[in-house]
Amino acid sequence: MEIENTFKTPCKKERAQCGSAGSCGMPVTIPASPFMQKLGCGTGVNVYLMNRPGIQTYSPWAIKKISSKCTATQKTVYQQRLCDEAKVLKGLQHPNIVGFRAFTKAKDGSECLAMEYGGEQSLNDLIEHRREDGLWAFPAATIEKVALHVARGLQYLHNEKKLLHGDIKSCNVVIKGDFETIKICDVGVSLQLDENLKVCNPKAEYIGTEPWKPKEALEGGVITGKADIFAYGLTLWEMMTLSVPHMEMLDLEDEDSSFSEEDFDFDAYYERLGTQPALDQKNLGGEYQRMVELFCICTNEDPAKRPSAAQIVQVLESNMNAVENTCVVSADNCYPKLLI
């Protein structure tokens, strides 16, 4: 991908301003984009790896900034979203959520959010690489580890910070090494929750990403923390299928085949949104049973029948700590007890 070249290194005055924004209180100097490795991109933004010279213990940062390809109107929207994300992220501190480092402004006036470098790749990158290598689902133990760590992050957001993440998917989970650390990122579209874990402002817009949206978000229903749980369930489905939810018609068996909009059944796609995608278990052994059941209950179309993040953590930690499989989780025993 082409790396944008409009980034300007902050001037001395702006560097002093950056210092007050940094989490460590030290001056922050952001290199120009071409001098940083591009890690990825999202809607209207690019993310770069910033190596910090000096003491060897300095950890690298991930720098998120607005794409130069955005129109003036788009930049206004995305800059506000980036500012909102910085404010939210600054108030979060959890081992399963990417940490805030600094929020500064480049000479051209564009905002830059410096974050903890949470890992080498996103979960989505790993899914794509696995599919390209002709492999099947991730090992069941790996999926269960991701499920537990992401659920812990969601429990913290929902219960302690009263925040709906609003865009859970494999792209927004970053992995370090061989799943050494697992962290949620991108809280730019988060929404405030009340004590009942409902979105406080009924007029607030649930942004999300279409294939991961629950039915209530698509049909103007009440948005609660259970919206994150639906998307969380689909993220587990991604790890078992190596696919994007509801995009089965794009799975081309012939490598020489190319996709055409004329071949895409938009009516079928939109009809599937907000529903539980099919899961072919022919290639999944019995060791996947817990994750299959967790996926099924989290993607129930009725939010009231989905477990909370806290309940998921409780069951998964119980499984992890169980001795000689004394606690067997199945759809017929443990999970129904989680229903509210």
**What residues act catalytically?**
167
Question: Do 240 and 291 touch, CB atoms closer than 8 A?
Answer: yes
Neighbours of 292 (CB within 10 A): 19
State which H helix or E strand residue 184 sits in: strand 181-184
CA–CA distance, 32 with 181 (Å, rounded to integer): 29
How would you classify residue 177: left for phi > 0, otherwise alpha for psi between -120 and 50, otherwise beta?
left
Asked whether 294 and 302 are in contact (CB, 8 A), the reply is no
Per the listing, tokens 């085949």 go with: 257
Does residue 186 contact residue 115 with C-beta atoms inside 8 Å? no
What residue type is assigned to position 257 of the chain? S
- Taking CB atoms within 8 Å and a gap of at least 24, the contacts of 110-113 are 110/7, 110/65, 110/66, 110/75, 110/79, 111/65, 111/66, 111/79, 111/82, 111/83, 111/86, 112/30, 112/63, 112/64, 112/65, 113/63, 113/64, 113/65, 113/82, 113/85, 113/86, 113/89
CA–CA separation, 110 and 9 (whole Å): 11
Name the one residue in this structure whose structure tokens are 């690489």.
129
